[in-house]
Amino acid sequence: MEVFVQQLINGLTLGSIYGLIAIGYTMVFGIIGMVNFAHGDVFMVGGFIALLFFMVMTAWLGLAVLPALMIVLVLGMVFTGLWNWAIERVAYRPLRGSFRLAPLISAIGMSILLSNLVQVLQGPRNKPVPPMFTQVLPLFEQNGYTVGIGYKQIVIMVVTAVSLAIFWYVVQKTPLGRAQRACEQDQKMASLLGINVDATISLTFVMGAALAAVAGVMYIMYYGVVNFSDGFIPGVKAFTAAVLGGIGSLPGAVIGGLLIGLIETMWSAYFSIDYKDVAAFSILAITLVFLPTGLFGRPEVEKV
């Protein structure tokens, strides 16, 4: 029981990071029907941006960890959002009206470009991060095993919950959110009604990148290290979470991320850790056999 509770906490922490990244995939797909395979590397870039700002805030300016982390979160969201805005303008917008494979190929090319660019600029080695929130809050003890939750895990869950609440409010209650939902249903009709479709899509990329930047900050805080290749595996896991939850569904992306995190941690605890990725993808395959649109996805309606 104690191992189950501990892994439940670990799984929710890991799943929170996956869920934040998965929202970027599902938003872009929901509006323009494109899988942005560079999104995982945007998450990695957000992690490096956060690392640079954190070192400046703590080593050069002498700020404490907590205020430095709050400033880094804001700056990381802004700069990563601007980075993804530029990617959308350069790599995706010119190909929006072309055949469906062109944006996909462009996204894969952008992913390779970002990964290699960071490798050239930062080097291939792991970049360590100073330890943050290393204390552990013990919950209970059973059979000589103490179940605890780390302060960093609490921070990750709280920041994720607040970020998702703000994001939900923007999508559901603001003019930008209404424009995004209108573009998701029919871009041509939205344009006829006076909505700036290009600006709405660009802001969607910015919002997805901002959440990926939050995930990048949480990732380096949790693992204490970042590498130029860290965009691939978390990006694939987040895409899997988006598909599992139903790509195009925002609640599905979050729940899919939590499920992938829980599957990984539970499998690692009770079975061989070498096959935790196999377990996650197997659950995805089984789910899609019975629910082809995912847990919360809606079947696509052909417009005639």
Q: Look-up: residue for tokens 């690692």? A: 268
- HEC string for 208-267: HHHHHHHHHHHHHHHHCEECCCCCHHHHHHHHHHHHHHCCCCHHHHHHHHHHHHHHHHHH
Instruction: Encode pLDDT of 89-147 as tens digits.
Output: 988 888 887 777 888 889 899 999 999 999 998 888 888 888 888 888 888 787 777 88
Long-range contacts of 50-53 (CB under 8 A, 24+ apart): 50/75, 50/76, 50/213, 50/216, 50/217, 50/220, 51/127, 51/129, 51/220, 51/226
Cβ neighbours around 128 below 10 Å, total = 12
Strand, coil or helix: what is 137?
strand
Return the pLDDT at 81.
93
Taking the chain (304 residues) in runs of 10, the rounded mean pLDDT of each run is 87 92 88 85 92 88 85 93 91 82 87 92 86 84 82 91 89 90 88 90 92 92 90 89 86 90 89 82 84 77 53
Burial of 133 (0-12, 13-18, 19+ CB in 10 A): middle
Residue 102: the pLDDT is 84
Q: What whole-number distance in Å separates Cα of residue 87 and Cα of residue 89?
A: 5
pLDDT at residue number 97: 74
Looking at residue 303, the DSSP 8-state letter turns out to be P
3-class DSSP assignment, residue 59: helix
Write down the domain spans for the chain: 2-228
Quick one: pLDDT at residue 213?
Answer: 93
- The amino acid present at 99, given as its one-letter code, is F
